[in-house]
Each structure stands twice: as structure tokens, then as C-alpha cells.
């Protein structure tokens, strides 16, 4: 399947063959490539991604080689995104993971402890996924920022629970009632934003951008838009509204740099 948005610098081709099911129960998009004129960097990596690796609905039952703790974390990533934190029970997590209830309490004191560990696990998995994404191949840091946004749109696939965010889902429920989970979710979202912030800061320096906004503020804004897009997708039951929101984010960032880009081009 080809994804293209008017005005974007590139398109993504994602075929059915690129969706792989891995031992952890993730289904991810692999071998996503820009057109050759833009980049030839592929993605073909281990199961990861904070905001997309559609989660397979299959259980981890039968994967005896995986440790019980990891099975439970994989189950948490799937079930919590499907039902929410409050509606997810320990019994359901054990059933999805295919482990005994005693194994749960051997690895985690309670459901809260599992949720905190799941947020960290989510950050670890998605960190690898985004680090290998093709937009990092752009020389211009602004192209990397816009490529990141395009990539976020391209991976809005599958059922809503498959492309939405674990930590965004949890923090909306427990931000006031459970500080430990809230802080773990904040660390995950903010940590991801820091990676985007680095490219924004470099782009601001390259294009001599100054104003009443910062690279950090814009990076966090990208996450606010994405999390809001996920909420709309849940309300509408489809990805189209989320994709439209990401398009608006792309246009907004282009407008922020438009004058500076034109000025740099005229003087070069």
C-alpha cells in the first residue's frame, strides 16, 4: 500500500508482505522505504514501536521459550490498549500471556507494578523501532523532522488498538489516581519527544530561527497532536481522523520554517 500526502517530500510504500508477526506477538511494518530519490534506508528490524506495531490479537500461549515476565509485558501492551488500564485484570493478563497466576505475582507485586514496567518496556521497544526509521537518513534536520511526521502517519494501520499509544492510554486514566504510573508514562512520552527535539533544535540553528517558542516546546507539541489524534481515532473508530490531524501538524511545522527557508535559499 502506498501512502502519499500532497506537499510531502516523500511517500511510503507498505505492502502486505511487509507486515511480520514476531515471536513476541507484535505485528510491525518492516521494509518501509522512501522512494529511491529521497532515501534507500529500509526498516527491517525487531518488533518495536511505541505508536504503531499493530499488536497481534493472538495470545503468547505456546511460546515456551519466552520468559514469563516478557509474556506478561507483551500481554499488557495488547490488552491495555484494547480495554484500558482499569478494565484490565490480572486474570486476563495471565490468560493472554499463557502463564499461571503465580508467575504474575512472582514477577510483579501488583497490577500497578506491571503497568510501570510495561511503560518502560514500551519505551525500550519503540526506541529501537524509531531509531531505525528511514527519516534519519536525511541530511537536512528539517527534512528529518518532517520525515518523522510523515512516518507517524504511514504507520497508522490496523485496528485502533493496534496503532494507539500504551502510555497515552494509561496516563489518561490514572494521571490523578496513580502517580507512579503517571510518572512512568510521562518519562516515556517526554523521552520520545527529546529525540524529536534534537532535530528541531538543529533545524532552528540551520535556518536561524528565533522567536517565542523553543525546540522542546515544539517537540512536546508534536506528541500532544499525536495523542489527541489517537483519542479522535478511538472516538471515531478509525484511523482517518488521526491521519488528517498528522497532516495538519506537518503543514504547521512547514509554515514555521517557510520564511526562514526562503531567506536561506535566496542568500545561498
Tell me the pLDDT band of 264, cut-offs 50, 70 and 90: low
Looking at residue 29, what DSSP letter applies?
A: E
Distance CA 219, CA 223 (A): 7
Minimum mean pLDDT range among 46-55, 208-217, 233-242: 46-55
d(CA 210, CA 152): 27
**Over residues 172-192, mean pLDDT:** 98
pLDDT, average across residues 39-53: 34
Q: Looking at the DSSP assignment, which residues form a beta bridge with residue 3?
A: 12
Residues 6+ apart with CB under 8 A from 220: 190, 193
What is the model's pTM?
Answer: 0.77
Q: If you average pLDDT over residues 203-217, what whole number do you get? A: 94
Write out pLDDT tens, residues 77-102: 999 999 999 999 999 999 999 999 99
* pLDDT band of 262, cuts 50, 70, 90: confident
Give percent of the chain above pLDDT 90.
71
Residue 42's pLDDT is 35
- The CA-CA-CA angle for residues 174, 59, 53, to 5°, reads 65
How confident is the prediction for the chain on average, in pLDDT?
Answer: 81
Residue 258 has pLDDT above 80, yes or no: yes
* CB-based contact 104:110 (threshold 8 Å): no
**pLDDT tens across 103-132, in order?**
999 999 999 999 999 999 999 999 999 999
pLDDT at 182: 98
- Average pLDDT of span 252-261: 90
29: which strand partners? Answer: 19
When the candidates are 1.10.10.10, 1.20.810.10, 1.10.357.10, 3.30.9.10, the CATH number that belongs to 2-267 is 1.10.357.10
Q: How confident is the model at residue 37, as a pLDDT?
A: 28
Query: According to the model, what pLDDT value does residue 260 have?
Result: 79
Mean pLDDT of 162-172: 97
End-to-end CA separation in angstroms for the chain: 38
Sorted by sequence, the CB contacts under 8 Å of residue 155 that are 6+ apart come out as 29, 32, 49, 51, 52, 163
pLDDT band at 4 (very low <50, low <70, confident <90, very high): very low
Burial class from Cβ neighbours inside 10 Å (0-12, 13-18, 19+) for residue 252 reads middle
When pLDDT is cut at 50, 70 and 90, the band that residue 210 belongs to is confident
Is residue 261 very low, low, confident or very high in pLDDT (cuts 50, 70, 90)?
A: confident
Amino acid at each position: 500500500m502506498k501512502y502519499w500526502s500532497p506537499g510531502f517530500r516523500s511517500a511510503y510504500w507498505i505492502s502486505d508482505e511487509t507486515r511480520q508477526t514476531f515471536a513476541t506477538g507484535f505485528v510491525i511494518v518492516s521494509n518501509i522505504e522512501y522512494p529511491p530519490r529521497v532515501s534507500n534506508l529500509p526498516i527491517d528490524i525487531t518488533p518495536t514501536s511505541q505508536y504503531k506495531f499493530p499488536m497481534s490479537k493472538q495470545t503468547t500461549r505456546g511460546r515456551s521459550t519466552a520468559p514469563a515476565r516478557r509474556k506478561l509485558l507483551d500481554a499488557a501492551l495488547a490488552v491495555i490498549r484494547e480495554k484500558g488500564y482499569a478494565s484490565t485484570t490480572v486474570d486476563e493478563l495471565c490468560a493472554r500471556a499463557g502463564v499461571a497466576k503465580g508467575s504474575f505475582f512472582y514477577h510483579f507485586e501488583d497490577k500497578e507494578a506491571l503497568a510501570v514496567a510495561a511503560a518502560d518496556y514500551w519505551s525500550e521497544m519503540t526506541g529501537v523501532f524509531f531509531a531505525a526509521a528511514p527519516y534519519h537518513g536525511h541530511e537536512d534536520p528539517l527534512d528529518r523532522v518532517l520525515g518523522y511526521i510523515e512516518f507517524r502517519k504511514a504507520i497508522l494501520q490496523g485496528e485502533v488498538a493496534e496503532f494507539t499509544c500504551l502510555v497515552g492510554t494509561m496516563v489518561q486514566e490514572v494521571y490523578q489516581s496513580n502517580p507512579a504510573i503517571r510518572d512512568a508514562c510521562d518519562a516515556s512520552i517526554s523521552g520520545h519527544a527529546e529525540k524529536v527535539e534534537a532535530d528541531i533544535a538543529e533545524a532552528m540553528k540551520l535556518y536561524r530561527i528565533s522567536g517565542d517558542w523553543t525546540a522542546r516546546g515544539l517537540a512536546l507539541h508534536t506528541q500532544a497532536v499525536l495523542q489527541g489524534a489517537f483519542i479522535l481515532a478511538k472516538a471515531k473508530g478509525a484511523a482517518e481522523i488521526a491521519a488528517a490531524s498528522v497532516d495538519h501538524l506537518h503543514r504547521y511545522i512547514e509554515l514555521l520554517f517557510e520564511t526562514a527557508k526562503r531567506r536561506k535559499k535566496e542568500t545561498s
